[in-house]
Structure 1
């Protein structure tokens, strides 16, 4: 059986995420619907609860929770007060009137203490469950955000896989035809790994040489600045010497009548005179 393609897996994951979108608005819909159904349209509601039904946000839900806790505390106090008054009135107006003995009060106090201890234990258990649920909710939120990021990366994978498959196909075709201009591309795996290690060693050596040369740059730069400082007076002296030589040549040419090749002509004349004198001396001898 062939493995599923990446496109099919991505499409299925996308459909699942669309069907099971998680948000604070989605989670609050059952609560909002229940409150709306139970609420009397003629009954006055608080501003907090009305605003929370219009626009549900994490902050509004937290405000609603605080508001309903306060209302429940007030309602519980009113209920206990009303029940107590009712029992007291029935006790004193009954026929015969209800008479409670000290022992009954002690037993009732004992039952109240046990009920309070049980209630406290239940409250502690509920608080622990709430804290555990909040921790798990935050962890699930982090995982959900991570899955969203990974889903985006997964969406980019099919294109990269196709590019790599095309590159592999081109390399295989080139290797099969043997038309690669670089013979190193046709090496087997073992020799290719050896070549890679050799290139890595060469690169490490070049990096070491480059680091040495870079460490010598400041010293060479200072030496260059020193040589330039020493060369500047010599360059000035050379320019002055060239100017003086040109001036001397100009004066000499002016003194000899302005003939440019005067020295060369005089040299030819002296050589001709010398040859003539040598011939005359040879003849006289």
Structure 2
């Protein structure tokens, strides 16, 4: 804050303000008088707080214009009075402001005041938190008290109801006692007998409820059995009819048919054996399980199980599709299944006649045979990889080899102190092009003698088709 500069400055300011106000008031009255007289030199002069009053047409030599002139003077006087009051209020405000003595405030006091304000704000926040916590506590207490009060009111109402019910009971007891016959048993004996019989009666009621429950469950089970018996009877009738038809067909068939059937069974068994299939089981009408022999490659010892499910897909017409997955082996055959289904769809789309389409739709055997054939081929290559890995680990235990069968990535160390990483295709080891060299690194900071391009060119030139052959070629 600024301090006062003494009485001289205050008096000079007051005198300047008074002079300016007098000049402004004088100019204001001059403007009003000129406006009222109708100054032709400056007809547009008007006060910023009064609207322009054009009374030149009213000041005519006519007695009827007296009322208009009187109205004009009243309006002019009211506006002049407003300006005077406003100016007086401004002067009083300025005089009071100048009359208040000003004092200097040091920066230290300002800092202390700010610190006190901060401390007060901190205390205020803490007090606010305490107040809110107390408010929550009081609110919970109020809710608890209200709940207890409601429970008390309910208990009082129940007690009042019990008292109302006890009145007639007391009257009945009094009447019974007054009419009590001494020849009969006393009331106490009757009450004791009632207590003795209460537990047997409760036991009998519980047993009765249990028997009713058992009876209802027995009735429902009986209804279920009757329904099952009816279904079995209908199935038995159908089977009897089919057996009779089969017997009739057996009596009428050609005797040479049995020999043909035996030959077909033996041929099918031999074909399955050559295909490496041990068992084919139809779980239901839509599910088929094919178990491959663990001896697809000697020494593999793993039997893969192919689980296939047949489902219908509605896309304009019913078409059969097959879903298949392998068990006991971490081998993905989704591409084989997709390929077989796509071939089936193209075959279905290429069938022009309705009979061909129905055959393609209702007979998915060519899909199943294709999946089985491709899966057997992939299993053979898979078991060949396993066998080669086991042979490498057994014959050369000191050789660094890390083979991820599922990912198809092999890392081997050669005698020159280098580690070679090779990526194998899913068809490995059919052809030398199934191996792709990924990287070559030196062991323990040694220099790399072979490069990726050198090893890849060596594989292609010498037609190296196996990891064993690659190790022998690089170590020789």
| Fold similarity call, TM over 0.5 | no
- Name the structure where strand makes up a greater proportion of residues: 2
- Name the structure where helix makes up a greater proportion of residues: 1
Bigger Cα Rg: 2
